[in-house]
Each structure stands twice: as structure tokens, then as C-alpha cells.
Structure 1
Amino acid sequence: MRLRLYDIRDEHHKLQKELAEYLHCTQQTYSRYEIGEVEPPLSVMEALASYYGTSVDYLMGLTDRRTPYPRNK
């Protein structure tokens, strides 16, 4: 499974360092998420989905739908 972390970061013109600071991790750790060396925890995927206004499923490549799913009330 290929994550879309690099693609979406590039589309938003962000640096790995910026995302690492947002996630409170090192740039090296974030880089490992992007290249698939380390699987990001669900909490990281949720934070990134919120940051980009998309869904975890989209970031994981499970759907091509970019918009987040509506929340149940």
C-alpha cells in the first residue's frame, strides 16, 4: 500500500520539516513515514487528514475521494 503523504505535501508546497513540527516529531521520522520505512500511527494519519482537509482513507490510497466523509451526529 502506497501512502499519498509525499504527493499531498508537494501539492500544498510544504516541507517535511513543517509537517514534522506540526506532528511533534523529527523530520527524519516524517521522512520515514513518506518513504514507507515506518508505518505512521493512526493518530498521525488522523492529524494529517485534518491538516489537509481530507480523509485517512485518501491518504492511505484506499479511495480517490479527497473530501472527508461526513460525520455522524
Structure 2
Amino acid sequence: MRFQRIQDLRTDADLSQKQISEILHISQRSYSHYETGSRNIPIEMLIRLANYYNTSIDYLVGRTDNKKLYH
């Protein structure tokens, strides 16, 4: 499964793969695998990404088109 939304969020934030991988404390190679879908994203990493981008895991994985969190 390709995770286009994490790539879109990263580029919208003007971050390189290297920068976001450093923020997440993972290698750039691992992050690249997540974006291309060649490796599944662990739930812990989905939580970190959702928190960083202030969005939901449902948005990240394509279950909703609503980026905003409900409070």
C-alpha cells in the first residue's frame, strides 16, 4: 500500500525525507519505504506522524478525506 498522503503532508510542510526521518528518529531509508509502500508503517509510527501533522490516522491511511481532527 502506497502512502501518498504522508508524502503530500511532508512536501506541504517543505520537509525532505531526511528531515522528517530525523524528527521521527528513524533512518531516511525506512521513511522512504513507508512512503513508497514497500514496508508497512507500524502503528507507533502512524501515531507519531498523525501527531506531528495534527491529523488523524484515518486520514493518513485514506479512510477519510477530512484532514482536521475532531475535538
TM-score (norm 2): 0.90
In the other structure, the counterpart of 1:54 is 55
Which of the two has greater helix per residue? 2
The aligned amino acid for 1:6 is: Q
In the other structure, the counterpart of 2:30 is 29
How far 1:2 moved relative to its partner? 3.8
What percentage of residue pairs aligned between the two structures are identical?
Answer: 43
CA RMSD after TM alignment: 1.1
The aligned amino acid for 1:57 is: D
CA contact (8 A) 1:2 1:61 kept: no
Moved over 2 A (4+): none
SS in 1 for 2:39: coil
TM-score (norm 1): 0.88
Larger Rg over CA atoms: 1
How far 1:34 moved relative to its partner? 0.3
Q: Which runs of 5+ in 2 are unaligned?
A: none
The aligned amino acid for 2:36 is: I
The aligned amino acid for 1:62 is: R
